[in-house]
Structure 1
Amino acid sequence: MIGQPLPRLEDRRLVSGNGQYTDDINLDGQVYAAFLRSPHAHALLCSINVDAARAAPGVLAVLTGQDYLDAGFQGIHHVPNPADAIAHTQPAFTTSLTGAIFNQLHLPLPVDKVRHVGEPVAMVIAATALEARDACELIEVDFEGLGAVVDADAAMQEGAPELWEGAPHNICFQVQLGDRDAAQQQFAQAAHVVRREFRNSRIVNCQMEPRAAIGVYDAAAQSYTLISGSQGAHRQKLCLMGALRAPADKVRVVCPDVGGGFGPRSMVNVEQLAVVWGAKHVGRAVKWTGDRSEAFLSDYQGRDQITRAAIAFDKEGRILAVDNEWIGNVGAHTVSYVPMANGTRVMTTVYHVPVAAVHISGVMTNTVPTGPYRGAGRPEAHHMMERMLDVAAREMGIDRIEIRRRNLVSRAMLPYLSPMGLTYDSGDFSGNMERALVVADWAGFEERRAASRAAGKLRGIGMANYVEAPVGAPRERLEMSILAEGIVDIVSGTQTQGQGHATTFAQVVVAQLGVPLDSVRLRTGDTAFVSLGGGSHSDRTMRLGGTLLVKASAQIIADGMPAAASLLGVAQDALQYADGSYRDAQSGRSASLFDVAASAPLKAVVEIDARIPAHPTGCAVCELEIDPETGDVELTHYTSIDDVGQPINPLILEGQVHGGLAQGIGQAFSEGYHVDRDSGQVMSGSYMDYGVPRAGAVPPLSLEFTEDPTSGNPLRVKGGGESGITPATATIFNALADALRDISSDEIPMPATPAVIWSIIHNREGSTDGI
C-alpha cells in the first residue's frame, strides 16, 4: 500500500456535502456573538458606553475587556518562542540583546488601548447573529488617536510610537547568531561582495473556511468546551487552560472538519476564547462565525520579513561567508516568533557556506499579528539566497547554473553540518538540479526567448534549489486498538485540514499489519480522547505520526503472540505473522488479528518527545513571458523535482505541491496586503482588493519525485506539505529578473503586479507602497 496513488478515502463525504465544519454545528439554545472592532490602528480606550447596546432587541450581554478581567481570567499565552530546531527542550531564542525576550499575554478584548485596525473592542451576545451585529453599532467608544507604525524597520527608530511598555523601540527580542567576527574577516578578503535588501510581503491566510467558534459552559461540572476548526486541539486546550485558569479536566476542545489551516490556525484566536467566556457569562452556548471582512482585519497573517543580505565570494564565485540582518514584523501581539527561528536556521540552504552570521530582530507594529504561514520562514530564506546567487552570477560574469554547481553541498560531504547548526543526513542536491534542468529544457530556452522577442514579448527563466528543516511540536502520542468487530482504531494527536490523513494513515497500517484498508479508523481532534499531541504543521504528521504507527503496529503484533498461540494451541515460537494473521507453518492453522483481539485486548500506546530531523529537498524551474504593453505575466511552464522521502501516497503529494505552488504564485504576483503607512488603515480588506490566484494562474507543471533515503525514521519520510511553496517566489522572481535583465537590475517589489512590471519596463514609478 505504501507508494500507491489511492484517491482519498475522505473525499466522497466532503465533496457530497456531508462534511461537518464549525458553522454546520448548532446546539440547543445557542445564542450568537458579534464583535465591535477598532477603526483605529493605535488609540487609547478612554471610555466605552454599552448602555444602548444592552437595551437593544435580543441582546443578552455586552462585554468588554474589563469584564473579562473582573471575571478572574487572564490573557492567552501563545508561547511565541518555539522549541529549538535541534535542542528541542529549550526555546529557539534563549537570550536577547535587549536584556529580555518580550511576551505579552493576549487579552480577548483590550482594556487600555487598541493596537491594530480590526482588534475587537467589545463582544455582544444576542438571540440571533443579526441582532448581535446591530447592537454592536450602538456601542459608543471614545478613542484618543495615537500615532501608528506599520513597518517593522520604522518601528525600531527613535520617535516611533511604542505599542507596549516593556518593549522599548517595539523590539520583542534581538539575537546575534553565528560567528560574525569570522564572517567579517572573510568579507575583508573577498574578491566580490553582493548586498541586497529583500522585503517579503505580508499576506492574508485565505483558507476556504472562514473562522468560527462555539463556546459551551457546563455549570454543574464547571467545565468549558470549545468547538472550533484548528490545526491542533491539544495546543488550543493548553492555551485555554492558562487563560481561563482551569485544570485540564475542566477544558475540552473539539475540532470538526477544517477548511484549510496553513499555519495560522495553530494558535488560539481571541474570538475562540471570548465565546467560551461568553458561554459561562450567559449560561448558553455561544456561536460566532466570522465573515471575510473580519478575516482580513483579524486572522493571523503571514510573512512580512525584511532581509538585508550580504554574501562574500572568492574570485571563482565560491561563497566565503554570509552576514545577514533579518527583521520580522510580529504585529500588535506576541503570537509567534516561528518564522524567524525557522528562516534563520535554514538561511544557507543547500550551499556550502564556511561561515555565517545573522542579526535577528522581532518587532511589533500596529498591524494584525503574524504567525507561521506555509513554510514559515523557509520560503523567505530561499528567496534571499537564490536571488543573491543570480545577482552574484551576473555581476561576476559567471553562468547562473555554474555558480550553483560550485557551491552546492555535495553528496560526498554528507552528513553535512551547516553553519547554522542543521545536519543534512541525505539529499542529492546536485542531482536534483541537473534533473530539473533537463526536464525544463533549460538548454533550449534561448531559442524560446528569441521567439518571444520576435513576437514583442519578454521571456525569462529562473531556478531555485531548496532544502527544508521541518520542525514543529516535538511531542506526539498515538493509540492503536484492535477491535474484535474488525476495526483498527487509531487515536492521534495530529489533525487534518485537507492533507488526507485518513488515507495515508490507513495505507501505513495496511502495510504494517496486513489488514483490509477499510478496517482502519482514524480519530483525531477531540481532547476528550486525544490526551496529547502536537497537531499538524511543519511537515510533522507522517514524520512523527508515521514513526508511531510503525512502532505501535510492531507492539500490537508482539503483544498478540501469546494470545494467538493459546488460541491455536501452539508454541509462540512456532508462529509467524503475515497478511493480518498469525500462522503456524507446520499445521497450517491461522488466526486473524481480529480473532486474537476477541480473545485478548490488543492496544498499544506510544509517544515521542524528540526531534526527528528530516530535510526535504529539490529544485524548481519557472519559465514565463511578459507582455511589455500591459505588464501582464504568463507562467508558461513550471518544473519541480522533489525529494520528500518515501511517498506514502504520490497522488496526495502531487496535490500538496500544486497547492503550495499556487500560494507561492499568489504571493509573487497578486497577494498584496496594503496598509497606509501613516494611519495604519487597511487598504486591501477584501477580495476586491486582494488578489488570490485563480486556477488559470497555475501553469503547466512537470513534477517528479525522487528519493535519496533518510535513515532518520522507519518510513523514510521527509515531508511534502511545503515542497511546493519553499522555492516558489525565489524561482519566479529569478525568472522575472531574467526577463527584465536588459531593462533593470533592481530588485522587483513583491507582489509583482502588472502595474509594477509595466512601471519597470517603462521606467515609471509604480505604486508599490504597502507591507
Structure 2
Amino acid sequence: VGEDYLADGHVGMAHLPNPADAHDVTISSFQPTPESKILDLLHLPLAVDCVRFVGEAVALVVAETLAAARDAAEAVTVEYQLLPAVTDVMEALADGAPAIWPQAPGNLALDCAFGDRAAVDSAMAAAHLVVDATIRNQRTFSAFMEPRAAIGSYDATEAHYTLISGCQGAHRLRHALAGCLKVPQDCVHVICPDVGGAFGSRFNIYPEQVAVVWAARRLRRPVKWTGERSEAFLTDYTARDVVTRARLAFSRRGRMLGLALELTANTGAHTVSYVPLSNGYRVAPTVYDVPIAWVRLRGVMTNTVPTAPFRGAGRPEATTVMERLIDIAASRLNIDRLELRRRNLIRHDKLPHRTATGLTYDSGDFAGNLARALEAADMEGFAARRKEAKRRGRLLGLGIANYVETPVGMPHERVVIKVSPAGHVVLVVGTQSSGQGHETSFRQVVADQLGVDAQAIDFISGDSAALASGGGTHSDRSMRLAGSLMVEASRAVVEKARRIAAVMLEVAAGDISFTDGLFVAPNTNRRLNLFDIARAADELSSLPGDLRGPLAAEASFTGRIPAYPTGAAVCEAEVDPESGAIEIRRYTSIDDGGQPINPLILHGQVHGGVAQGVGQAMLETAVYEPGSGQLLSASFLDYALPRADHFPHFEVALTEDPTKGNALRVKGGGESGITPSSAVLMNAVIDALSGLGVEHMDPPLTPQRVWQAIRAAGKGSARAPIPIDK
C-alpha cells in the first residue's frame, strides 16, 4: 500500500506540469509573479488517506498468475468514507464546492494572466462589435490501440532497476522514475518497445510504472502488469476538458481590434500537465492579425482522472474558439465569412510577424492556403450541391477553418550515427515512434545524407542505455529536432571519412568529392565507400590519432527550433433535420508541414488527425455521474469512436512555404490534421442549421443534441448553449 511505499523511502511522481519550460531556462510559459499561482503536487502511485477519483489505486497485489492475483485482490478490504465529489470544472470553482487538495484553495491549481488587460478593455469599449461567447471543449479519452503495460525488474547485485513499458520517451521516463525511487538516473534502465499509439497520453509517468519496479525490488523478482480496457477508461490520463470565455472585438469594416480569453481547464485530481493551457494561450490569435490580446489561464482540480496533453494539446481548442467567433461575427456584421477571414489573415508580405501572444511566425502563406483549399473543395459548386440536398430533405452546410501549429516540446535531443565495417550504419535517436513511421523516415534522411541504402541502416530508439539523453516524441518535434541532428551527425561522419580517404588516396581532403556514398580522388578512377573507410579507421595504424577508431559522430542540441505548420480545411456536412444525424460529404485539407520527407506518411498523419478531431466534434465525450464522480462512459459501449464509414474520401494536398529554421526545412505534420478538424466540422454543421436560427452548439454534435438544437431553435432559444447530456 502507499504507506509501505513511503516507508521504503520513495516519493511521489513529479510530473513537471509544463515540462518543456521546466527544462528550458531561456523561455518560460508560466513565469511566477506575486499575482499568479502555479501548483505542482507530487502524485503518489498508491493513494494514502484519501482517494480523489474513481479508479485511483490504493493497493498493489502480486501473485504467480493473473487468476491468483484477481482472487487476492477480491480479498482486500478497503474501508471508504464517502465524500462529496465534483467533476465539472465550473462547478469546482463555485463557493462551497468540495475541496480536492488543501494546497489548492478554491480548487485552483493554476491562475495566470498575460497581456495588457487595460488596453484590450479599451479596444473592446471602442469596438463596433464584440462577440462574447463561452465555448466548451469536452473531455475525451485517448483510446490508443493497446492498453498500457509494464514489466519491472531489479538487480540487487548492481542496485539497478529496469522498466520495460510503452511511453513517449525512455529518457524522460527514466528521469521521472529515478526521482520517485530517489536514486541516480544511471541506476535506472528504461526500455520502450513498439508502442501502439500514444497521442500525448503516454508522455507522463503512470503509477503502475513506479509500482512494478518498487514491487520487483521488494520481491527480488520481475513483476509484470498489463492493463485492460476497463482500467484504461478509469486510469489513463484524459484529454481536453476546457471552458473558454472568448471576446473578440471588431471594427465596423470587420477588422479585429482585440482578443480576450479566459481558459478554464479541468486538471483532474492531480497536477499532471498544464501544457494544453500553455499552448492554448500561445496560439490564441492563430493565423489572424490580432493587434492586442489578454489571456487568463486557470487550472482547476476536480474528482476526475487527471488530464494531460492529447494530439494538438491546446491548439485544436484555440482554433475551434477563433473559427467559431469569426463565423458568429460574420453573421452579426453581415459580412461574408470568407471575406471576414481574408480581411484579417496575416499577410505573407508582413512576415516575419510577431503575434499579440509573443510568437514570431517566420513563414506561412495563410491566404494562399485558404484559396487552395477552397479551389480543391469546389467552392463554386457548393450552392448547387446545397440545393440538391434540400430537394432530398437534407440541410447541407459548409465549414471553413484556418490553422497554425506551434510545436515546442522538450528542448533537448541527441543522435548518434556509426558506420560499421560490416556494411551497415547504426542510427541511435532519443525520440520514440508510436506509429509515426520513424523507422522509415529517419532512415531516409540518413540514407540521403550518407549515400547508402536505407535497408543498410540499423535503427535504434526507445532505450535509455543506448544514448545519454533524448527528448522523446511529442509536439511535432521529432523530425524537426532529431532530423536536424541526423543531418549534422551525417555531415560530421562524411567530413571525418573524407579526411581518412585523403590519407588512403594520398590527395588533399579538399580535393576529394563525395557523391552517392563514394569518395573519389580527382582525375582518377580511385574511389572508396563509407564501409571501406570504416574498416580502414579500425585497422590502419598509419592514420593520425584523431582519425582512428569507429567512424561515428554524435550531435546534440539544447534550445528551441521554432516552426509553424499551417493550413486550411473545408468541410461539407449534411444534416437530417428529422433525426439530427450528420453525414460528412466532403473534407478537404491543405497542409504546410514544411518539406515532406515521406509524403505518404505525412498524408497518413493528416488522415489520422482528421479522424480524431471529427470524433471529438461528433461523438466522443466522457460522462461522469454528478455527486459521486462515477464514470458512466467507461467502455466502448458507452463511449463512441468514429468508424471508417463516418468519413468520405479525404482530399489532402501538401504545400510548402519554406522555413529557414532547420536544415531540412521541416515544420511538422503529426498534429496538422487534428488542429482544424473539430472546428471545420462544427462550422459546417452550424452553417447547415443556421437557416433554422441555430448560432452555436458545443460538441459533441450527436444526433440527439442536434435534434434538440433544431427543436430549441424553433422555440426561439437557439443561442442558449446546450449542456452535454448527463
Taking structure 1 as the reference length, the TM-score comes to 0.90
Which of 255, 279, 283 is the aligned partner of 1:318?
255
Partner of 2:712: helix, strand, or coil?
coil
Superposed, which structure 2 residues align to 1:648-659 within 5 Å? 648-659=597-608
1:769 is aligned to: 724
Do residues 272 (structure 1) and 221 (structure 2) align? no
Segments of 5+ residues of structure 1 without an aligned counterpart are 1-63
1:479 is aligned to: 416
Partner of 2:458: helix, strand, or coil?
strand
1:460 is aligned to: 397
Superposed, which structure 2 residues align to 1:634-653 within 5 Å? 634-653=583-602
Query: Does structure 2 retain, via aligned residues, the 8 Å contact 1:97–1:175?
Result: no
Partner of 1:121: helix, strand, or coil?
coil
Superposed, which structure 2 residues align to 1:574-593 within 5 Å? 574-593=511-530
Tell me which amino acid in the other structure corresponds to 1:769: I
Higher deviation after alignment, 701-710 or 506-515 = 506-515
2:277 is aligned to: 340
Do residues 261 (structure 1) and 210 (structure 2) align? no
Partner of 2:147: helix, strand, or coil?
coil
- The CA deviation string for residues 535-568 of structure 1, in whole angstroms up to 9 with x for no partner, is 0010000000110011011111111122111222
Give distance in 2, aligned partners of 1:486 and 1:429: 46
Tell me which amino acid in the other structure corresponds to 2:423: G
Give distance in 2, aligned partners of 1:396 and 1:374: 34
Superposed, which structure 2 residues align to 1:284-683 within 5 Å? 284-600=221-537, 601-683=550-632
Partner of 1:480: helix, strand, or coil?
strand
1:688 is aligned to: 637
Tell me which amino acid in the other structure corresponds to 2:712: N
Higher deviation after alignment, 565-574 or 671-680 = 565-574
Give distance in 2, aligned partners of 1:636 and 1:746: 21
Query: Does structure 2 retain, via aligned residues, the 8 Å contact 1:461–1:739?
Result: yes
Using the TM superposition, give the Cα deviation of residue 182 of structure 1 relative to its aligned residue in structure 2, in angstroms: 0.7
- The CA deviation string for residues 173-209 of structure 1, in whole angstroms up to 9 with x for no partner, is 2111011111111011000110101100100011001
Give distance in 2, aligned partners of 1:88 and 1:541: 21
Using the TM superposition, give the Cα deviation of residue 697 of structure 1 relative to its aligned residue in structure 2, in angstroms: 1.2
Using the TM superposition, give the Cα deviation of residue 99 of structure 1 relative to its aligned residue in structure 2, in angstroms: 5.3
- CA distance 1:531–1:85, change in 2 (3 Å): closer
Partner of 1:341: helix, strand, or coil?
helix
Higher deviation after alignment, 157-166 or 330-339 = 157-166
Give distance in 2, aligned partners of 1:85 and 1:136: 39
Query: Does structure 1 retain, via aligned residues, the 8 Å contact 2:624–2:631?
Result: yes
Partner of 1:741: helix, strand, or coil?
helix
Do residues 214 (structure 1) and 169 (structure 2) align? no
Query: Does structure 2 retain, via aligned residues, the 8 Å contact 1:466–1:618?
Result: yes
Using the TM superposition, give the Cα deviation of residue 571 of structure 1 relative to its aligned residue in structure 2, in angstroms: 2.4
Using the TM superposition, give the Cα deviation of residue 130 of structure 1 relative to its aligned residue in structure 2, in angstroms: 1.6
Using the TM superposition, give the Cα deviation of residue 273 of structure 1 relative to its aligned residue in structure 2, in angstroms: 0.5
- CA distance 1:477–1:663, change in 2 (3 Å): same
Which of 60, 64, 68 is the aligned partner of 1:131?
68
Using the TM superposition, give the Cα deviation of residue 87 of structure 1 relative to its aligned residue in structure 2, in angstroms: 6.7
Using the TM superposition, give the Cα deviation of residue 670 of structure 1 relative to its aligned residue in structure 2, in angstroms: 1.0
- CA distance 1:341–1:770, change in 2 (3 Å): farther
Query: Does structure 2 retain, via aligned residues, the 8 Å contact 1:96–1:173?
Result: no
1:760 is aligned to: 709
Higher deviation after alignment, 650-659 or 736-745 = 736-745
Query: Does structure 1 retain, via aligned residues, the 8 Å contact 2:37–2:111?
Result: no
Tell me which amino acid in the other structure corresponds to 2:418: S
Using the TM superposition, give the Cα deviation of residue 90 of structure 1 relative to its aligned residue in structure 2, in angstroms: 4.4
Using the TM superposition, give the Cα deviation of residue 428 of structure 1 relative to its aligned residue in structure 2, in angstroms: 0.3
1:146 is aligned to: 83
- The CA deviation string for residues 479-529 of structure 1, in whole angstroms up to 9 with x for no partner, is 111111111111100010011101101111121111112111110111111
1:52 is aligned to: none
Using the TM superposition, give the Cα deviation of residue 346 of structure 1 relative to its aligned residue in structure 2, in angstroms: 0.2
Query: Does structure 2 retain, via aligned residues, the 8 Å contact 1:83–1:90?
Result: no
- The CA deviation string for residues 557-594 of structure 1, in whole angstroms up to 9 with x for no partner, is 11112211122222222211111111012122001011
Give distance in 1, aligned partners of 2:318 and 2:102: 31
Partner of 2:59: helix, strand, or coil?
strand
2:545 is aligned to: none
1:238 is aligned to: 175
Tell me which amino acid in the other structure corresponds to 2:724: D
Query: Does structure 2 retain, via aligned residues, the 8 Å contact 1:148–1:366?
Result: yes
Give distance in 1, aligned partners of 2:59 and 2:22: 39
Query: Does structure 1 retain, via aligned residues, the 8 Å contact 2:37–2:112?
Result: no
- The CA deviation string for residues 374-396 of structure 1, in whole angstroms up to 9 with x for no partner, is 00000000000000000000011
Give the alignment's Cα RMSD to 1 decimal.
1.5
- CA distance 1:390–1:463, change in 2 (3 Å): same
Query: Does structure 2 retain, via aligned residues, the 8 Å contact 1:303–1:373?
Result: yes
Give distance in 2, aligned partners of 1:211 and 1:744: 46
Give distance in 2, aligned partners of 1:371 and 1:480: 34
Partner of 1:307: helix, strand, or coil?
strand
- CA distance 1:390–1:273, change in 2 (3 Å): same
Give distance in 2, aligned partners of 1:770 and 1:528: 49
Query: Does structure 2 retain, via aligned residues, the 8 Å contact 1:86–1:422?
Result: no
Query: Does structure 1 retain, via aligned residues, the 8 Å contact 2:499–2:509?
Result: yes
Tell me which amino acid in the other structure corresponds to 1:120: A
Query: Does structure 2 retain, via aligned residues, the 8 Å contact 1:613–1:712?
Result: yes
Partner of 1:107: helix, strand, or coil?
coil
- CA distance 1:767–1:179, change in 2 (3 Å): closer
Higher deviation after alignment, 419-428 or 622-631 = 622-631
Which of 653, 659, 664 is the aligned partner of 1:715?
664
Partner of 1:678: helix, strand, or coil?
coil
Query: Does structure 1 retain, via aligned residues, the 8 Å contact 2:694–2:710?
Result: no
Give distance in 1, aligned partners of 2:395 and 2:503: 76
- The CA deviation string for residues 346-378 of structure 1, in whole angstroms up to 9 with x for no partner, is 010000001101111011111110110000000
Taking structure 2 as the reference length, the TM-score comes to 0.96
1:29 is aligned to: none
Do residues 171 (structure 1) and 108 (structure 2) align? yes
Query: Does structure 2 retain, via aligned residues, the 8 Å contact 1:85–1:471?
Result: no
Higher deviation after alignment, 516-525 or 318-327 = 516-525
Partner of 2:139: helix, strand, or coil?
strand
Partner of 1:144: helix, strand, or coil?
coil
Give distance in 1, aligned partners of 2:129 and 2:722: 33
- CA distance 1:268–1:315, change in 2 (3 Å): same
Give distance in 2, aligned partners of 1:573 and 1:746: 68
Give distance in 2, aligned partners of 1:236 and 1:400: 46
Query: Does structure 2 retain, via aligned residues, the 8 Å contact 1:83–1:92?
Result: no
Partner of 2:331: helix, strand, or coil?
helix
Using the TM superposition, give the Cα deviation of residue 770 of structure 1 relative to its aligned residue in structure 2, in angstroms: 5.7
Give distance in 1, aligned partners of 2:381 and 2:390: 15
Using the TM superposition, give the Cα deviation of residue 769 of structure 1 relative to its aligned residue in structure 2, in angstroms: 3.3
Query: Does structure 2 retain, via aligned residues, the 8 Å contact 1:83–1:89?
Result: no
Q: How many residues align?
A: 708
Give distance in 2, aligned partners of 1:744 and 1:216: 62
1:92 is aligned to: 29
